[in-house]
Amino acid sequence: MSFDYCSEVIKDFENALENENYYDVIIKAGEDPDIKELRANSFVLRVRCSYFERALSNDWKEKDDDGNYIFEKKNNSAEVFQLILRQVNNK
């Protein structure tokens, strides 16, 4: 397997994590009035991080009408949670 191929796969995962067309996780980060919504792909999160593997199980209770997982993370700013998502992707 070539380095170029691995690099392409990494870019594909990064695009899936950040592309809103593929999201099924909505993370509401921060507190009023600074709540921001971040979107992510549950498959990528599950594969890359054991926390998300557990958190995004089929038993997850908080889903919206479209079947998206909903996380409310009031104790983290959107900026901090974006760093977490980037770290998960670059793990």
How does DSSP classify residue 70? Answer: E
- The tokens for 48 are 């890359």
Q: Please tell me whether the overall predicted TM-score, pTM, comes out greater than 0.75 for this model.
A: no
Domain locations in the chain as residue ranges: 3-90
Q: Is 46 left (phi over 0), alpha (psi -120 to 50) or beta?
A: alpha
Domain 3-90, CATH: 3.30.710.10
Q: 22-60, pLDDT tens digit by residue?
A: 788 898 888 888 889 888 888 888 888 888 888 887 776
What integer pLDDT is reported at residue 1 of this predicted model? 61
The contacts of residue 56 (CB under 8 Å, 6+ apart) are: 25, 42, 45, 46, 69
